[in-house]
Amino acid sequence: QKEVEQNSGPLSVPEGAIASLNCTYSDRGSQSFFWYRQYSGKSPELIMSIYSNGDKEDGRFTAQLNKASQYVSLLIRDSQPSDSATYLCASEPRSGYALNFGKGTSLLVTP
Amino acid sequence: NAGVTQTPKFRILKIGQSMTLQCTQDMNHNYMYWYRQDPGMGLKLIYYSVGAGITDKGEVPNGYNVSRSTTEDFPLRLELAAPSQTSVYFCASTYPPGQGAYEQYFGPGTRLTVT
């Protein structure tokens, strides 16, 4: 049973558009959710965390959480070619000691 | 703070050889993890540790061993390397839940090829 599901993509958006990345999770007890960005050949880096239902904004990034629907999303406004990367969604499990990671969605922003 | 450091960055092993991947963190994190990531795939947890002297298996522990003698260090040992262990290995660390932001910090990775 996969805990965190993401479309693998690639998701292609033109420069300046809004990129929408989605994630669903199966553990209803999960409390915290994270979005990591991973450039090719590099390690994942945390870009957003969200703990409560609703939206959380940080610069061009907005994370959205809907615990009733078990759904997390990441919006990237004014997408730039430098945003081209794989985005990993992760959830903190109700029990256990490690985050559950999705396989990631590949985003390509075209000039 | 150097954060999470890993050595070596790259390594080529012959089938049957052994090696240790080193991981050190200077953030005083209790929790440490080893992941492997195959091309186009997500992160798979190999082993984790919740503190010095305490380790446990993750999703894919076969062919690996770990130890945790100090808070800072969490080495991963590969015994009798096999081609299936060709991958990129990431070490990560974090505070325990409830003791700060539960965000995992990753090292730069070790790219291992077994031929």
The count of other CB atoms within 10 Å of the CB of residue A87 is: 25
pLDDT digits (tens, 9 = 90+) for B2-59: 899 999 999 999 999 999 999 999 998 999 999 999 987 889 999 999 999 999 999 9
Instruction: From residue B100, give the alpha-carbon distance in Å to each of A68, A105, B93, B110.
Output: 26, 28, 13, 28
What pLDDT is stored for residue B4 in this prediction?
Answer: 96
Q: Inform me whether the C-beta atom of residue B95 falls under 8 Å from chain A C-beta atoms.
A: no
Nearest to A103 among B41, B58, B106 (CB): B41
- Residues in chain B with CB shorter than 8 Å from the CB of A43 are 90, 106-109
With bands split at pLDDT 50, 70 and 90, how would you rate the model's confidence at B103? confident
A11 pLDDT above the threshold of 60: yes
Q: Inform me whether the C-beta atom of residue B2 falls under 8 Å from chain A C-beta atoms.
A: no
Nearest to A43 among B48, B97, B109 (CB): B109
State the Cα–Cα distance between residues B62 and B41, nearest whole angstrom: 18
Do residues B71 and B94 touch, judged by C-beta distance below 8 A? no
Helix (H, G, I), strand (E, B) or coil at B49: strand
Cis peptide before B8 (omega within 30 of 0): yes
What pLDDT is stored for residue A86 in this prediction?
Answer: 96
Mean pLDDT score of chain B, rounded to an integer? Answer: 92
pLDDT digits (tens, 9 = 90+) for A47-97: 999 989 999 999 999 999 999 999 999 999 999 999 999 999 999 877 767
A103: left (phi > 0), else alpha (psi -120 to 50), else beta?
A: alpha
Please give the average per-residue pLDDT across B83-105, as a whole number: 83
